[in-house]
Structure 1
Amino acid sequence: MLDTLLPILIFAALAVAVIGAGRRVRLWRQGRPARVALLQGLAAMPRRYLVDLHHVVGRDKVMSNTHVATAGGFVAAAVLMILVHGLGLAEGVLGWLLLAASGCMFVGSLFVARRRRNPPARLSRGPWMRLPKSLMAFSLGVFAVTLPSVGLLPEGFLEGSGGWLLALVLAAVVTWGLGEMVFGMTWGGPMKHAFAGALHLAFHRRPERFGGGRSTGLKALDLDDPEAPLGVEKPADFTWNQLLGFDACVQCGRCEAMCPAFAAGQPLNPKKLIQDMVVGMAGGSDAAYAGSPYPGKPVGEHQGSPHGPIVARDGKALVDAETLWSCTTCRACVEECPMMIEHVDAIVDMRRFLTLEHGNTPNKGAEVLDNLIATDNPGGFDPGARMHWAADLELPLMADRGAAEVLLWLGDGAYDMRNQRTLRALVKVLRAAGVDFAVLGNEERDSGDVARRLGDEATFQSLAKRNIATLARYRFARIVTCDPHSFHVLGNEYGELGGDYEVRHHSTYIAELFEAGRLHFKPWKGGGVTYHDPCYLGRYNGEYEAPRNVLKALGIEVAEMERSGFRSRCCGGGGGAPITDIPGERRIPDMRMNDVRETGAELVAVGCPQCTAMLEGVVDGGAEVRDIAELVADALAEAPQATGGGATQTQRPQAVEVV
């Protein structure tokens, strides 16, 4: 009986799955066109799955092993089941391999069941709670029906009245497993992520991320094309491979657990946001969502359609505007996502529409953007006052020099009294190292970072193109800045507009100067120190070691916070968040200073003017906040003298030849 039923069940399930796949593809193809390397992507998919995806999954060793056993067992069992029971190729080793694959899958399903017994709050429930049972049904059913094929049970054990009943039970179990594992992959349910996820890895909008690469710069809008949409108004305005990426979400909640806005009780949950985009792509409401809601916003009150607005000015829509404006663009969600979904890209795309089409930027957003247009800086300060803080420093100007080894990019911290102390310290360090540097002075404009994160792509591109034109007049080997936001924009986002530069964060450059013997320090005499990783230096640009190496060179042993490195908690200062100022239950910088307090450190070292401002703004923070440049400037010592004469032991190298 099973010899007849199994091929029918297997090929019926496959046929329905193929129909579902076509339906799923049609949903994705509602999005705008996107160029992908079709064959190259498909060929790269296995490596991206086995290496890049599992690099993220592997951070949780238990779940990594569980996923290898369950997913690997399923893929092998599904292929072998078609060969053994679908095509009747049970001879030889295939049947035994099928037993091994289904057994491996069953072991993995036991771990899934244990995790789902009392799941952490970040995991979605609902249909996901049936997944362990479905995994077991598939693996046990396939294992049982394969036993006669390899001779472990007699061929006739399913004959007779009792055998027929057992055969029907086994067929029902296999049907249950096939329904979830195969049918569900393309029609919806927990296994949908497997089908969508595999294709998402093949056709990812940022293929540079794979193979150990990094891709974090926002993609420019074509403002010269009157047909190009200014941001994303409706789900169909996303590119088709973005919609595919949303469908790949496994609802594991890792993004939710790392999101600073969610932890602060602001109305953002990156997992819920991605699921809302899936709802909009297919049409319907969020009533079936079974995970954590946006803080303060109940589930079931939002709905949408592929060609309906994502954010409504009146009436119901998929997402409230304040959800989008809560994001600090810290990329913690992207860094943690095992499916490598690009949450921040989607949020900024939606912000662009609100800003460019409706001018709907909350609180001080509109004022800041107006200031950038009128004065080239977000504070609205007199552009001619950019160098007032350095009146006594006699800084060399590029306009006078024409060329220098280093172009020191001041950033708009030049207008802030607190950051002026950091800039003065950095100038002192550069002069102590004999660096040939110059500044643009009043020719420098805002890098455009805050305009771009607030969605004003037009103002960003205007600022960027004028800065690029200014920089083209001079010769320099590299740009150095103490602002990770300027560092990121200049190094990763100007290139698309014609400005390709070698850019260094000041901590990286100071570390290089020390390694070259151009800086010497007095022993550290202070107390305990911890270090806060800026998001735009760490997660955006992968620089974690240089700041720590500088602190080590000063003789400081860093007391690491629990959330440090790639899992550092955001200070709350990125993405224009202090400007849009969406209220929550608590403040993000307060949480970060609590992290500092737990280390017992008396001082927190930082490498970003926005981090400095946010952390120093915490009432009763309990620890002093100082930039790395300030610590280095205070520790500067004279170079040691050679024993036989007046020359120093290490000679400063000559400035590099600029081209």
Structure 2
Amino acid sequence: MLNTLLPILLFAALALAVLGALRRVSLWRNGRAAKVDLLGGLLAMPKRYMVDLHHVVARDKYIANTHVATAGGAVASIVLAILVHGLGWHNRVLGYALLLVSAVMFVGAIFMCLRRRNPPSRLSKGPWMRLPKSLLAFSGSFFIVTLPVAGVLPVNFGGWLLAIILGIGVLWGVCELFLGMTWGGPMKHAFAGALHLAWHRRPERFGGGRSTGLKPLDLADNTAPLGVEKPKDFTWNQLLGFDACVQCGKCEAACPAFAAGQPLNPKKLIQDMVVGLAGGTDAHFAGSPYPSLGGQGKPIGEHGGNPHQPIVNGLVDADTLWSCTTCRACVEECPMMIEHVDAIVDMRRHLTLEKGATPNKGAEVLENLIATDNPGGFAPGGRMNWAADLNLDLMSHKKTVDVLFWVGDGAFDMRNQRTLRAFVKVLKAAKVDFAVLGLEERDSGDVARRLGDEATFQMLARRNIQTLAQYEFKRIVTCDPHSFHVLKNEYGAFDGHYVVQHHSTYLAELIGNGALNLGQHTGTSVTYHDPCYLGRYNGEYQAPRDVLRALGIEVKEMVRSGFRSRCCGGGGGAPITDIPGKQRIPDMRMDDIRETGAELVAVGCPQCTAMLEGVVEPRPMIKDIAELVADALLEDTAPVKPAAARREPAEAH
């Protein structure tokens, strides 16, 4: 009986799965065109799955091992089940192979069941609670029906009752795996996820690469939408990426806005985009909702839309988008490598460029950038007031230098001026050949771009690139990770290609080359706060710690440090849009700091300095790395090699 039913069941399920796949592809094709290497991506997909994806998954050994057993066993079991029971290749070797892989899959599914007995709150429940049982049914049933093929049991064992029970088990498992992969359900991530890895929006991320710069809008194309208003305005491979979400909630657990009670949950946001892709409501979403301050906000079941309806006020509320600090913690943690921040900024672009709906002080800041080239609206002529007594060389006078010091808009902030002056002191002590742009420097455009004002960003970028083209320099160094990131990773799209370094990287180089005569830090215990735009965006975690170690400082690391550092709350224009929550993100970060018992926090970003110093006292002291180095400088007791004689970096860090 089973020998007759199994081939029918398997090939019927395969046919329905193919129909489902065609349907899903038609849903993705609602999106705009995107340039991808179709064949090359497919060929690269196995390595991306086995190496890049599992590099992220392997951070949780339990889940990594479980996933290898379950997913690997499932793929092998499906292939062998089709060969043995579908095509009737009743070969003993194939039979034993199917027994082995189905047993491995069964063990993996058991560990999934144990995980789901008391799942973390970040995990979606609902159909996901059914999945381990479905995998057990599939692997267990195929294990038993394969025993006669392997010669372990006689061909006609068990009788009709066992055949019926096994048939139900096979049907259950086959429906979950074959149909669920393309028609919907927990296994959908397997089909969409594989193709998402093949045709990823950022293929540069694979093979150990890093890709964090926002994609530019073609403002000259009058046919292209300015940002994303409706789901169909996303590119088709962005829609595919949303469909790949496994609802593990790692993005939710990492998100500072979610933890602060602001109305953003990155997992729910992606699932809302999936609803918009297929049409309907979020009534069946079985995870954590958006935080709802004061009981206000839409409950589950009231978010809905379709590919052709506006996203905001249908699928999501505007405050959800403006809550994001663009810290990329969600992207860093996502095992499916989904690009949440790209999607949020794309939707912000529509609100800002088409609707003029940037909240709170957003419109004022954008107007200031256009009128005065700085977000605070300060008179441009005051940009160099902080250095009135420092006799700094200007690029307009020198024309050619080793280092162009990009000051940034911290020049207008009295607290950050201390950092700038400290860094200048260090550069002079190291006898570095450097100069500044002075009044020729404009805002880098970071804030405008994160707020969705691509037009203002591109205007500022092109003006800065035009200015920089007049001069010769070996590298740009800046104390601001946001300017560092934009100059290094986003100006290239407009033919602005430079070697750019954060000041912590350059300081580590100067110290390593023996250019500075430093004393040792004594007394105060120190922890270090990783800026998002230096760490997660650019992968620089070591240089700041090397500088602190050179000062004799043993860093007392926070639990959330390195790539898991908690955002200070100052990125993405968050202090400007100022969406309320149950607590402030910098207060949460200060709690992380207090847990270390450190008396001083070393930072490397003016935004981080401002946000952390905004926490009410008592709290630890905040000092930039440049200030710590400047404090440790000793009077020269021996000649120091001039900076020009030291080796230059082969590439930007």
Q: TM-score, normalised by structure 1?
A: 0.97
The one-letter code matched in structure 1 to 2:300 is V
Partner in structure 2 of residue 129 of structure 1 = 129
Partner in structure 2 of residue 295 of structure 1 = 291
How does 1:176-255 map onto structure 2 within 5 Å?
176-255=172-251
- Say which SS state the counterpart of residue 358 (structure 2) adopts: coil
1:650 shift after superposition: 5.3
Alignment equivalent of 2:275, drawn from 270, 279, 293: 279
Alignment equivalent of 2:508, drawn from 507, 511, 518: 511
Partner in structure 2 of residue 382 of structure 1 = 379
1:165 shift after superposition: 1.8
CA contact (8 A) 1:593 1:621 kept: no
Partner in structure 2 of residue 645 of structure 1 = none
Partner in structure 1 of residue 99 of structure 2 = 99
Residues 446-504 of structure 1 show CA distances to partners (whole Å, capped at 9, x for unaligned) of: 00000000000000000000000000000000000000000000000000011000000
CA contact (8 A) 1:524 1:635 kept: yes
- Say which SS state the counterpart of residue 626 (structure 1) adopts: strand
1:542 shift after superposition: 0.1
CA distance in 1, matches of 2:126, 2:224: 39
Asked if 1:544 is matched to 2:545, the reply is no
Asked if 1:632 is matched to 2:629, the reply is yes
Partner in structure 2 of residue 644 of structure 1 = none
1:527 shift after superposition: 1.3
Residues 138-197 of structure 1 show CA distances to partners (whole Å, capped at 9, x for unaligned) of: 000110100000111101214xxxx11211111110000000011110000000000000
Asked if 1:268 is matched to 2:259, the reply is no
Partner in structure 2 of residue 654 of structure 1 = 645
CA distance in 1, matches of 2:128, 2:637: 66
How many residues are aligned here? 644
- Say which SS state the counterpart of residue 93 (structure 1) adopts: helix
CA contact (8 A) 1:435 1:655 kept: no
Partner in structure 2 of residue 443 of structure 1 = 440
Gaps of 5+ in 1: 642-647
CA distance in 1, matches of 2:62, 2:240: 28
CA contact (8 A) 2:92 2:149 kept: no
CA contact (8 A) 2:193 2:241 kept: yes
Partner in structure 2 of residue 77 of structure 1 = 77
Q: TM-score, normalised by structure 2?
A: 0.98
The one-letter code matched in structure 1 to 2:71 is A
How does 1:360-371 map onto structure 2 within 5 Å?
360-371=357-368
CA contact (8 A) 1:535 1:568 kept: yes
CA contact (8 A) 1:7 1:87 kept: yes
CA distance in 1, matches of 2:192, 2:6: 27
CA contact (8 A) 1:604 1:625 kept: yes
CA contact (8 A) 1:405 1:656 kept: no
| CA distance 1:649–1:580, change in 2 (3 Å) | closer
CA distance in 1, matches of 2:195, 2:392: 54
CA contact (8 A) 1:375 1:381 kept: yes
CA distance in 2, matches of 1:526, 1:353: 52
CA distance in 2, matches of 1:150, 1:654: 74
The one-letter code matched in structure 1 to 2:305 is G
CA distance in 2, matches of 1:656, 1:127: 59
CA contact (8 A) 2:531 2:608 kept: yes
| CA distance 1:121–1:529, change in 2 (3 Å) | same
1:301 shift after superposition: 1.4
CA contact (8 A) 2:432 2:642 kept: no
1:653 shift after superposition: 4.5
| CA distance 1:191–1:638, change in 2 (3 Å) | same
CA distance in 1, matches of 2:36, 2:90: 40
CA contact (8 A) 1:235 1:281 kept: yes
Partner in structure 2 of residue 68 of structure 1 = 68
How does 1:110-125 map onto structure 2 within 5 Å?
110-125=110-125
Partner in structure 1 of residue 150 of structure 2 = 150
- Say which SS state the counterpart of residue 425 (structure 2) adopts: helix
Asked if 1:614 is matched to 2:622, the reply is no
| CA distance 1:43–1:237, change in 2 (3 Å) | same
Residues 66-109 of structure 1 show CA distances to partners (whole Å, capped at 9, x for unaligned) of: 00000000000000001111111121411111000000000000
How does 1:476-515 map onto structure 2 within 5 Å?
476-515=473-512
- Say which SS state the counterpart of residue 157 (structure 1) adopts: coil
CA distance in 2, matches of 1:656, 1:358: 51
CA distance in 2, matches of 1:288, 1:509: 52
1:625 shift after superposition: 0.3
The one-letter code matched in structure 1 to 2:83 is L
- Say which SS state the counterpart of residue 645 (structure 2) adopts: coil
CA contact (8 A) 1:405 1:655 kept: no
- Say which SS state the counterpart of residue 155 (structure 1) adopts: coil
- Say which SS state the counterpart of residue 196 (structure 1) adopts: helix
| CA distance 1:621–1:608, change in 2 (3 Å) | farther
Residues 261-309 of structure 1 show CA distances to partners (whole Å, capped at 9, x for unaligned) of: 0000000000000000000010001111000000013211111110000
Asked if 1:553 is matched to 2:550, the reply is yes
The one-letter code matched in structure 1 to 2:645 is Q
CA contact (8 A) 2:433 2:644 kept: no
CA contact (8 A) 1:485 1:536 kept: yes
CA contact (8 A) 1:454 1:576 kept: yes
Alignment equivalent of 1:417, drawn from 414, 418, 436: 414
- Say which SS state the counterpart of residue 602 (structure 2) adopts: strand
The one-letter code matched in structure 1 to 2:219 is L
1:652 shift after superposition: 5.2
| Percent of aligned pairs with the same amino acid | 75
Partner in structure 1 of residue 161 of structure 2 = 165
How does 1:295-374 map onto structure 2 within 5 Å?
295-296=291-292, 297=297, 298-312=299-313, 317-374=314-371
Runs of 4 or more, structure 1, over 6 Å off, are: 655-658
How does 1:541-620 map onto structure 2 within 5 Å?
541-620=538-617
1:639 shift after superposition: 4.3
CA contact (8 A) 2:433 2:643 kept: no
Partner in structure 1 of residue 20 of structure 2 = 20
The one-letter code matched in structure 2 to 1:625 is I
- Say which SS state the counterpart of residue 534 (structure 2) adopts: coil
1:656 shift after superposition: 7.7
| CA distance 1:382–1:103, change in 2 (3 Å) | same
| CA distance 1:77–1:621, change in 2 (3 Å) | farther
1:654 shift after superposition: 2.8
CA distance in 2, matches of 1:282, 1:352: 23
1:638 shift after superposition: 3.4
| CA distance 1:33–1:621, change in 2 (3 Å) | farther
The one-letter code matched in structure 1 to 2:463 is R
CA contact (8 A) 2:514 2:640 kept: no
